[in-house]
Structure 1
Amino acid sequence: MQAHAEGFRVVAARLAAIRERMLQCRVMSMTGRGRRPSVSRSARITMSKERPWLDHYPEGVPAEIDLGAYASVVAVLEEAFGKFKERPAFASFGKQLTYGEIDAMSAKFAGYLSGELKLVKGDRIAIMMPNVLQYPIALFGALRAGLVVVNTNPLYTARELRHQLEDSGAKAIVVLDNFASTVQQVVADTHVEHIVTTGVGDLLGGLKGMLVNTVAKHVKKMVPDYHLPQAVRFNDALARGAHHPLPKVMLSHDDLAFLQYTGGTTGVAKGAMLSHGNMVANMLQAGSWIGRNAKEGEEVIITALPLYHIFSLTANGLVFMRLGGLNWLITNPRDMPGFVKELQKSRFTALTGVNTLFNGLLNTPGFAEVDFSRLHLTLGGGMAVQRAVAERWKKVTGCTLAEAYGLTETSPAACINPLDLKEYNGSIGLPIPSTNVAIWSEENQPLPVGEVGELMVQGPQVMKGYWQRPEETAKVLGEDGWLHTGDIARMDENGYFYIVDRKKDMILVSGFNVYPNEVEDTVMQHPGVSEVAAVGIPDEHSGEVVKLFVVRKDPNLTAEALKEFCRENLTGYKRPKLIEFRDDLPKSNVGKILRRELRDEKKPAATH
């Protein structure tokens, strides 16, 4: 025990030294725009001993990034608009918009938000759209107006949307017609004063745009009727915004850019406050990691994960914007045959996704015939990449599927595998530049190499905290900047990290966090339910699915009736796939339901 205690003290001292060094580097980086803090050779050797991952960095990747390179996300965008004006920036449904066109339209939208709606710096705006051309225009326009973007899942139920709009205090929302009926149900209960609606085809132009909107509404029946008389159409907003100048808003690293909602560790939906500094840091960190693997102005990245998800938002929407890349938007990646047809139209160079997406593509006819000759980057995140999928991906595409790790609270990237990796290695990779990662015990003591404990992250990409929830923030974020991830992991002698187990109770469905508390609270609202426990069970398609263990209050309650209740109150990926009725549930001596016992049961049980 004494030896272990001494080991803890030594590691703690090293970590303290690292923190001090990082703070010094941050101060240096802020003293001059575009000037990287110098790191001597002797300092680098010392750092590599304390941070063994540095010795295994890809060639050209720096230990630290220059945080002073950009004052805000807007500064990055405007640099890209000027530098790549004639280059295509986003493509969807056969329509491409250049950087210059995105610049002009987002400036008009910013003018509308500021000049017409009188929204001011710091006001929140919700964006409720899948991957369509309107999304980046609304996003960039909002940021250029100094607003805080509240990314909103279009598939939210009325209950979920109401909570997010109420909690964030959003004054405006931009929503695709397909989901406007949900907004209609809740808007009276929120602070939303302004609504902008749009159809999928609104930016496609002419007959094509009209045809796409007509098919979506009348043929595929994808647009439920709604009544929002106060709403303004997106194209009308752009036309009105053209009469107002682009607002001049001073932004710094401390200003909020996003409220990115997550369940955190409790299941209560909370807005992670991601500042312009957080986002700039992660763009620079990920950008430096891509390094020489990416060619400026030549990259084409397939954007299938929704841009409202933090992984896609940063990795695709922002990092590749800075590189002058083309984001090829996939509006409905669940339509795998349609997705493959889109891939056949583009000689893409990069693709990000979750394990289920890669597995789905591999099992879709025609995928093996896609042209992979330019593909050099495939990045998996959001959930664990399965070895079988990674190995098959390499065989079919010739490109290694590299796994990365991050959280909403880290903007999101914290660890990434080297992109020159020859084969899948089962690791989540190495900590990226300016990032410290450590393994701590339950007593919050650093653990030595090889020991299993909680994965901790410290760096400039770590959130400012949870929106208006200081107590919840204090539970996960220390004054020294160390973030408790809740994930159980270990580090090897080379600085590679390996996830041993996910958060104790969190369920990970196709890369999306499902928190049992939320599911259970919702199910308990059914009058026929007495007790319920929600757990995740393995699933070959989505990684995990939700299973409910229910004690009935009404003996006539059926599984189908309960599933229908969940369909009305929970987003698709949160809904239970399996329901098992029981006479009682295992509990601790203080009456807490023991989810782990249910999850770890080996005996087969009848499900419904």
Structure 2
Amino acid sequence: MNSYNFADIIRSSAARAPLSPAIIAQGRTINYGELQSRTNQAGNLFAGLGVEPGDRVAVLFINDFRFLEICFGLMTIGAVPVPMNSKLGADTLAYIYRDSGSRLLVYHSSMGDKAKIIHQEADVAASVICTTESHPDDHGLNSLVYDEILSSQDTQLDLYPTRGGDLCLLPYTSGSTGNPKGCRLTHSGQLWNVTAIAEIRDLQQEDRIVISLPLYHKNAMLSMKAVFYSGSSAVILPAPEPAAIFHAIGTHRATYISGVPALYRMLVTHLKESSASYDLSSLKYAICGSSDTPVELLEDIKQWMGIEVYEGYGLTEGGPVVLESRKGLHKPGSAGFPLPGCSIRIVNETEADVPEGTIGELWVSNPGVADGYWNLPDVTRKRITSDGWLKTGDMAWQDDEGYVYIVGRKDDMINVGGENVYPKEVENILLQHPHVEDACVLPVPHELKGEVPVAYVVLNHPTDREEIKRFFIERGPAYAHPREIYELDAFPLTGPGKVDRTRLKQMLAEQLQKGVGKSI
């Protein structure tokens, strides 16, 4: 794989079946032949604007199929797309633009307000606006109009001969602590990951996925890469709205879906509360990742949607997908097995491997691991060993059959008077309560114990907080019980649909500052 351009996955599928559908979105169906032509046009467009191999280009978008042709068009000419999380604040987006050294900003017209601030704070030299309007409002940025330029571009373009180890994509981590970090993902590493995913999911040309999560996030973006590699197809929705998702499944005969626990909880709740009838008979399975999935939710999905759920685990710099369950090889609550070609270690504080059943930090090694963090050599040395092992910062254990279980972030562990308490383990017990719909456990300072757990919960029926505490103590270790229970109507979510623990920590700090819970 000395010379390989990842954008070839679209060309290969187009060569096999040019008339086969690739994307269904925004009221149209785009086949692989058309997708290749549009991707080539996008590559020619950016080359004409002076973008050269190795240049970074920031892409700020909503769920629009043009996001994909833009990213792959940039890869085609050897440039590097920098997909931006559109939910981030404009100041953070401006930081990402500056830090990545992006040459150009490509943005959707709905992101115009943020694009204006990025222009001002990051001194953007040139930008391209993507819109369906004839005369879009670009907030006085003098942006070039993507669709106007695209239509005049040649549909033929030779792939730039990147080496497999060259930079393919530069996504930034969420930045829950400090500034976001750019993850250097290579062409060969991305090919390994989609090849492995397509293999364990047994993706065929006739398979079809419904995607409603943001395309910039690894969950949806990885699914789209696997679609293009396998020559299958995707229905892309603008937002995760349950009725629209179920309608798309029935209308387009989708064979599987992928999402995060918060999305599946929305889907199950809708089925429980709605009188509408949906045809889900085409679905074969669901993929759930990006966050811990309670066993109770898995059982609800199986009961209400009639499908098995295969859990997975990954992180932006890790492949991105590292572990995934598969047909005939899944246990509720486990993230599954390493992908073919991926090795793992679970180590203690001295970096020695721990025995089966023992919790330790998960390390991973595979061809998709980032070859470093952008502009952060010290962080790279700290997180990635000289022989290529990524220290994930996630705590896990492995059973005697090889199944891996993720218990939470190393930084989230709560030391209660010398006893290690992992939030997920407390949350799993709370979720067994029939009236607890969702739970998130956080630490607070304690005069004697050092720190103790408290819990935010979403209830489906009014319930006494002391009764929830008693429920926990009857089923779990007393030292791990949440000392206080705070009720919310719904949890704040991040852009990709995960529980926003950072926001909950802020809310908890505000409550403690006001005196709520000071008796803990």
Q: What TM-score comes out, normalization by structure 2 length?
A: 0.78
The counterpart of 1:89, out of the listed 18, 22, 33, is: 22
- Counterpart Cα distance in 2 of 1:95 and 1:470: 45
2:142 corresponds in structure 1 to 230
Q: 162, 165, 179: which is aligned to 2:94?
A: 162
**Structure-1 separation of matches of 2:200 and 2:159:** 33
Whether the 8 Å CA contact 1:127–1:151 is kept in 2: the answer is yes
Structure 1 residue aligned with 2:193: 282
CA distance in 2, matches of 1:584, 1:175: 40
Give 2:464's aligned residue: none
Cα distance, 1:310–1:279 mapped onto 2, change above 3 Å? same
1:451 alignment counterpart: 358
Comparing 439-448 and 364-373, the one that deviates more: 364-373
Task: Within 5 Å, give how 1:140-539 maps onto structure 2.
Answer: 140-190=72-122, 192-199=124-131, 202=132, 226-242=138-154, 246-263=157-174, 266-291=177-202, 294=203, 296-314=204-222, 316-333=223-240, 335-365=241-271, 366=274, 369-421=277-329, 424-505=331-412, 538-539=456-457
Task: Give the letter for the 2:33 counterpart.
Answer: G
Residue 312 of structure 1 aligns to which amino acid in structure 2?
A
Cα deviations across residues 386-416 of structure 1 (Å, max 9, x unaligned)?
Answer: 1111101111222111110111011311111
Change (3 A) 1:197 1:536: farther
Q: In the TM superposition, what whole-angstrom CA distance separates every residue of 1:118-150 from its partner, at most 9, and x where no partner exists?
A: 110000011111221211111111111111110
Shift of 1:536: 9.5
Query: Which runs of structure 2 are paired with 1:35-184 in the superposition (5 Å)?
Result: 71-114=4-47, 116-184=48-116
1:188 aligned partner, one-letter code = Q
User: SS in structure 1 opposite 2:290?
Assistant: coil
- Quick one: percent identity of the two aligned structures? 26
Which amino acid counterpart does residue 299 of structure 2 have in structure 1?
E
Q: Distance in 1 between matches of 2:275 and 2:378?
A: 48
Cα separation, partners in 2 of 1:536 and 1:358, compared to 1, 3 Å: farther
Q: Tell me if the contact between 1:487 and 1:503 (Cα under 8 Å) persists in the aligned partners.
A: yes
**How many angstroms apart in 1 are the aligned matches of 2:85 and 2:251?**
28
Paired residue type of 2:206:
E
- How many residue pairs were aligned? 445
Gaps of 5+ in 2: 414-422, 425-441, 443-452, 460-493
Whole-angstrom CA distance in 2 between matches of 1:583 and 1:384: 27
Structure 1 unaligned residues grouped into runs of 5+? 1-29, 31-67, 203-209, 215-222, 509-515, 517-534, 542-566, 586-597
Offset at 1:347? 1.2
Secondary structure class of the residue paired with 1:253:
coil
SS in 1 for 2:214: coil
- Tell me if structure 1 keeps the 8 A contact 2:211–2:220: yes
Matched, 1:578 2:507: yes
Q: Distance in 1 between matches of 2:237 and 2:320?
A: 21
Q: Secondary structure at the match of 1:489?
A: strand
Higher relative contact order (CA 8 A, sep 6+): 1
Q: Structure 1 counterpart of 2:212, which letter?
A: A
Measure, in 1, the Cα distance between the counterparts of 2:233 and 2:144: 29
SS of the aligned residue for 1:369 comes to: coil
Question: How big is the shift at 1:581?
Answer: 4.2
In 1, distance between residues paired with 2:9 and 2:294?
A: 35
Offset of residue 272 of structure 1: 0.5
Tell me how far 1:492 sits from its aligned partner: 1.0
Deviation, structure 1 residue 339: 3.5
Inter-partner Cα distance in structure 2 for 1:253 and 1:449:
36
| AA of the residue aligned to 1:279 | Q
CA distance in 2, matches of 1:245, 1:341: 37
Give the distance between the partners of 1:306 and 1:156, measured in 2 at CA: 13
User: Contact (CA 8 Å) 2:42, 2:69: kept in 1 or not?
Assistant: yes
Q: Distance in 2 between matches of 1:188 and 1:155?
A: 19
Q: Report the AA paired with residue 375 of structure 1.
A: L
CA distance in 1 between partners of 2:289 and 2:518 (Å)? 33
Q: 1:84: how far off? A: 2.2
Distance, in Å, in 1 between the alignment partners of 2:259 and 2:513 is 40
1:227 maps to amino acid: H
| Offset, 1:572 | 11
What letter corresponds to residue 266 of structure 2 in structure 1?
A: G
Residue 426 to residue 575, structure 1, CA distance change in 2 (3 Å) = closer
Aligned to 1:43: none
- CA shift, 1:503, in A, is 3.4
Alpha carbons 1:282, 1:413 under 8 Å: kept: yes
